[in-house]
Amino acid sequence: MRRRRVACAPVPSSWNMSSTSWKTRREGGSEVLIRLIAWIAAALGRQFCLLLLFPISGYFFLFDRRARSGIRSFHLNRGDSRWLSVYQTFYVFAVTLLDRVYFAARRFPASNFLLSGDDVFRQVLEREGRCVLIGSHLGSFDVPLFLNESHHIEISVLMHKNQSSRVRSIAGISDQRFDVIETGRPDSMLRAFDRLLCGGVLGILGDRSNGSSDVNVEFMGQQVSLTKSPYVLAYKAESPVFVFFALYIGAGKYEVSFSELTRPEDFLLSQEKFIIEVAGRFARALAHQAQSHPANWFNFFDYFEPPAVENAS
């Protein structure tokens, strides 16, 4: 039995996404890389592009020291010391950037998306009327956004807009095609909460620190800090939470999965216990998929480095 729904639960105005160090990092030279890939894709086509991605990825592997160090830290943590694994991550990242161009142009065959759990996701959404959908920097975040057009699902996205927005626009992905709520504004979380109350899906990337409002979880044997925002929103709106992954598995195919993270009885817990429980499930799901598909890990910095503590004085 779930708690009585509250039509307008209070949401503190301090729920804004504060600045953290990852937001100012230029990850893997992605803006330069996507400009080059977008031009080649338009001029020469995908198959020829895939061949060119080998030397292009090699260039960034050799000369982007910070990104290389961050990816190597991830692979070392999972017990893989091979430099080839680091290079493969650069290559798969480049492939997903290339595919963004074709997603945007609607030139990517739907049969290349291998879906699982989407039927349960649609059933829960139809029953509950709302859902928090948590993504990550493991694989492509863009795939579900384009699948929503074929599934006729209204998705709002709470996202940080800076370099990633430029990269998306270069690839031909206009944020105007989606309902984007920009983080870092005083009313960001209030607007996101309102979207949930109105019904539909709220998409959020959940694998990084928010800085001011985090929850500590175990991830691949280490403690990391993740944003609380998806879980606070879900708890206040009594909204089910799903995690999705869109993982490149080769041959132009993506394995797209949806898994429910919440159970009805979770909403009987206190807010803090709810956050700890559901965030822990997300971290375990992320760790499982990261171990299974390590080349899809696109956090191009030392993920296990403790976040910097801002001096309030």
Per-residue pLDDT of 41-85, as tens digits, reads: 777 878 888 998 999 999 999 999 999 999 999 999 999 999 999
158: buried, middle or exposed (CB in 10 Å: 19+, 13-18, 0-12)?
buried
* pLDDT above 50 for 286: yes
Determine the residue type at 238. E
For residues 232-242, b (16+ Cβ closer than 10 Å) or e, as one string?
A: bbbbbbbbbbb
CA 257 to chain centre: 13
DSSP 258: E
Per-residue pLDDT at 37: 74
Work out the pLDDT band at 281, boundaries 50, 70, 90: very high
Options 3.40.1130, 1.20.1630, 1.10.150, 2.60.40; which CATH number does 21-296 get? Answer: 3.40.1130
Pair of tokens at residue 118: 């989407």
Residues forming a β-bridge with 218: 223
Pair of tokens at residue 104: 């945007």
Where is 216: in which H helix or E strand?
strand 214-219
Of residues 186 and 270, the one with the higher pLDDT is 270
Look at the alpha carbons of 260, 159, 191, 150 in this order and tell me if their dihedral is positive or negative: negative
Tell me the whole-structure pTM to 2 decimals. 0.85
- The domain locations on the chain are 21-296
DSSP 157: E
Tell me the three state secondary structure of residue 163: helix
Task: Show Cβ contacts of residue 307 under 8 Å, excluding neighbours closer than 6 positions.
Answer: 20, 21, 209, 211, 214, 225
- Contact at 8 Å (CB) between 148 and 173? no
